[in-house]
Chain A
Amino acid sequence: MSHWIVTTLKATSVSHFMTGSMWAWPLCETLHFVGLALLIGVVGMLDLRLLGRLRHLSYAAVHSLIPWGILGFVINLVTGVLFFVGAPDQYLDNVAWWYKLAFLAIAGLNVLYFETTQARRALAIGPGDDTPRAFKVIGAISVLSWFMVLYWGRMLPFIGTAF
């Protein structure tokens, strides 16, 4: 693909660094996987609580781990952007990447909806409390969409041709 986005990004020094340095890509891959583990660990615990599991924990207790989930997300956002700037064509031409982005959007909107409209109700969930059905639905959407993000990300080199 020789879209202007591709030519513009590929002309940047960041792009040259990502593809030219022997270290840059492997290092970012490693960080991307560490970030993934942090994100799935924290989000997974939160989702389990929303689904009514880990019931002896209050929602607020699990919520206190969120900064680490955000750290994982930021690590992956930064390294992900670096991959994209490094080789934009291998992602734009790759159907797996678009699926990954779509599920990322679903996961993001789900979090946004939950945190903006349900946060206060959620923080009232104490140890031993069951969760309302709406929370279970949100928890299920969250866990499924994050695992789909992981799945399509892992499929990038196989369905498309990303390295």
Chain B
Amino acid sequence: MTDFFAALENLPFSIWLRESNSIWAYPTMLTLHTIGLALLVGASAALDLKVLGWGQAIALTDLRPMFRWMWIGFWVNALSGVVLLAADATTKAAAPMFLIKLGLIAVGVVIMAAQRRAVFAPAAAITRSARVLAAASLTVWFVAIAAGRLMAYPGLFFGL
């Protein structure tokens, strides 16, 4: 696995990303990653807040279009995330905070899929389990943001 990440890191594209001074290299990828975050977590938070009782006038089924924005945000970040990983794969892949972040994203996506099934069900009602899912979704995405942000401060945790 280490060989794989080393190979990834040494691709001409990865070297360009890491070493180029172009605004289109690392900075643009990081910006895309932030925009994707805003779409995914923003749309998700709006849905969660509605499920948790905010916005009474909104019917749950009315929020179906929000899933399109969540998935757009997700794919923007999956792709820009792979590119950002390629730039320094061996360091990131070994960083505990990165693995924590990936784990949280996996949990977030599972929750998102479960919420999607609930919202698209014929009689979309807000059940107790829907509220639990919404609270879990908010928590997981916010902690994932924290983990991602804290990747920039490796010394803060784990004594790396």
Contact = CB atoms under 8 A, between A and B. Distances in A.
B67 interface: no
Interface centre among A37, A54, A60, A155 (most CB of B within 10 A): A37
Q: Is the interface of A mostly helix, strand, loop or mixed?
A: helix
A56 B155 CA distance: 49
Contacts of A53: 65
A13 interface: no
B49 A68 contact: yes
B62 A54 contact: yes
Contact of B62 (A22, A23, A39, A61): A61
A116 interface: no
Contact of A37 (B41, B57, B58): B41
Interface string A67-79: 1100000000000
B55 A155 contact: no
A41 interface: yes
A56 B60 CA distance: 11
Interface string B135-160: 00000011001101110110110000
B42 A42 contact: yes
A150 B34 contact: yes
A41 B156 contact: no
Nearest to A28: B149
Contact of B37 (A29, A37, A65): A37
A73 to B, nearest CB: 13
B39 A22 contact: no
B92 interface: no
Contacts of B41: 37, 41
Given A30-B145, A33-B37, A61-B62, A41 B57 contact: no
Contacts of B46: 41-42, 45, 65, 68
Interface stretch (B23-31, B81-89, B105-113): B23-31
B6 to A, nearest CB: 26
B27 A158 contact: yes
Given A37-B45, A42-B42, 7 more contacts: A26-B153, A42-B46, A44-B69, A45-B46, A67-B54, A68-B46, A154-B27
Interface of A: 22-23, 26, 29-30, 33-34, 36-42, 44-45, 53-54, 56-58, 60-62, 64-65, 67-68, 147, 150-151, 154-155, 158-159
